[in-house]
Chains A and B, each alone.
Chain A
Amino acid sequence: MAASMALRRELCSLARIFSNISPLAPRALSACSAHRRFNIIRSRLPSTSSTSFHTATVFSSTLSSVTVTEEPDSLFQKVSVLVKGHDKAVLDSYEFFATMAAKELGISISKVYEPHKDTERLTLLKSIHIFKKHRVQYEMRTYYRCIELSHITGCTAQVYLEYIQRNLPEGVAMEVTKTTMEKIPDHILEPMWKDHPVDDKPSQ
């Protein structure tokens, strides 16, 4: 039961995407049209995702509240997650968590690397009045960690990023760079002057 449900959901997701790539897989499209009718309701990720999963009873309710809509899923060629923090150990733990979550959700990780840290140093006067020769020095270090994911769909990216961001520890910032892939829109396929030949107006 669960296997067939998963299969149908996968086929429908493929249908959503393949409806745009018609030359690629006509067979899959015709197979999916039979399975298009679903009565499952999509819900947003519950806000207490990290708190309510220690009991087994919650699982069944979450499974039944997923909708499948007809709008095509967006495709990301690359999603780059850069986390910045002051403490390297925290970033190490976060990297372990993020990579494990990506593996569990079946997302392909292309690269995980550590850019060089940035240090901002200040030399200030130690005393509020005179004593110019006595100073105090501070430094602020920002450590970075970058996780690059490739070939990820819009739904999966949304789910994964929301999960990652809700469990972002305090004092850590994140930048997510997404590269979406799109087809050429219809109005750029052919120049409009072919159908409606325009006599050359002097350009302004």
Chain B
Amino acid sequence: MASHTCKTFLSLGRINVPGLGLQKTASRAAYATGLPVNTSAGNKGLPDRSGRGSSVRKPKRDVGEPRTKKMPVDQDWTAVYPAATPFRQDSIPLPVRMGYPVKGGVPPEKKGNLELIKIPNFLHLTPAAIKKHCEALKPMCTEWPSTLDTDAKCDEHFPIKAESTDYVSAGPSVRNPSARIVHLKVKLSSLNLDEHARKKMLKLVGERYSKDTDILTITTDSCPLRQQNYDYAMYLLTVLYHESWKTEAWEAEKTVADMEEYSWEDSPSQRNILDVLVRMKVVGEGEGQDVREQLLGRKEVQEYKDSVTRLKNEGESEDAMLQYKEAVKKVFNL
């Protein structure tokens, strides 16, 4: 008993010093101790405090009627819900029901409904509120230049496109490492390149060029910041451009295997067809270079050349094969 009183006295002793200054209920609520508070023991410790114990509670206020009853129909809703706030069932004059329905009944009402509080609500973003916000935001916006209305015009004046992604999510960190990636897209036709420079550029760039759309895509993610990656991508583009205009000494050693497109001159196909025609003695007796040149000048041989070049460059297709067939028939007079 004595020890018990001692304990309670200790607990009350802890409360006492600030409690006296603050008075009443606030301090009592703030100091919850694990020790049991005995009414009789309490009276001994605090003669000046009246009625301290578990039986006395602070007087409860009446709930009163909900605010919805006092709301006029044409009120300003943006004043009721100016910011994102949880659902307050007394402030919303709507008979909302949410939750799994009671058996044979309806979903529970909004009074004391946790589901309605849990879900994010958009009551602060009604159309009237959005209009008000946008009215205030309008002065800070700028107009798009009216002359750049089609994509073609945009591409003509602004050919370089830089693409990057920002991420917004909740988590321990605001940063997302994928945000540093930059994709730079350029159409090669908009750069000032001659034939040799274009071919060299394509060889330097390899996989990053797409033939169908004529777009070169440079993707950089080696630097930690987006600005750095963008600068690096522009630097790469500059270097590629200037290097492709340079002609090195070893470029003269380009072989037939390095060529991008098939050319018929000095190819096995040309030699073969000329050999065959000379053997067939199409032009009559005569050997040597002038006979071959004469043969080359003939229309059938030119058509044959076109069909073979088309087959090699564009790949095989119905039209190409038909064209080749016709050309061969004409050359051999079949």
Contacts and interface: CB of A to CB of B under 8 A. Distances in A.
B147 A24 contact: yes
Interface in A169-199: 169-185, 187-193, 198
B248 A200 contact: yes
Given A21-B157, A173-B169, A163 B133 contact: yes
B139 A193 contact: no
30 contacts: A16-B142, A21-B148, A45-B140, A53-B82, A53-B132, A54-B78, A73-B142, A75-B148, A75-B154, A77-B161, A93-B122, A97-B125, A105-B137, A156-B142, A160-B141, A169-B84, A170-B120, A172-B120, A175-B167, A177-B163, A178-B165, A180-B162, A180-B163, A181-B158, A182-B161, A184-B160, A185-B234, A190-B192, A191-B192, A191-B242
Interface string A81-106: 00000010110011001001100111
B245 A51 contact: no
Looking at chain A, what size class is its interface with the partner chain?
Answer: 35 or more
Interface of B: 76, 78-79, 82-84, 119-120, 122, 124-125, 127, 129-145, 147-149, 151, 154, 157-170, 190-192, 197, 234, 237-238, 241-242, 245-250
B82 A50 contact: yes
A25 B163 CA distance: 28
B216 to A, nearest CB: 12
B138 A105 contact: yes
B76 A192 contact: no
Contacts of B245: 191, 193
Contacts of A108: 144
Contacts of A89: 119
Interface of A: 6, 9-10, 13-14, 16-18, 21, 24-25, 42, 45, 48-54, 58-59, 62-63, 66, 73, 75, 77, 87, 89-90, 93-94, 97, 100-101, 104-106, 108, 151-156, 159-160, 163, 165, 167-185, 187-193, 198, 200, 202-203
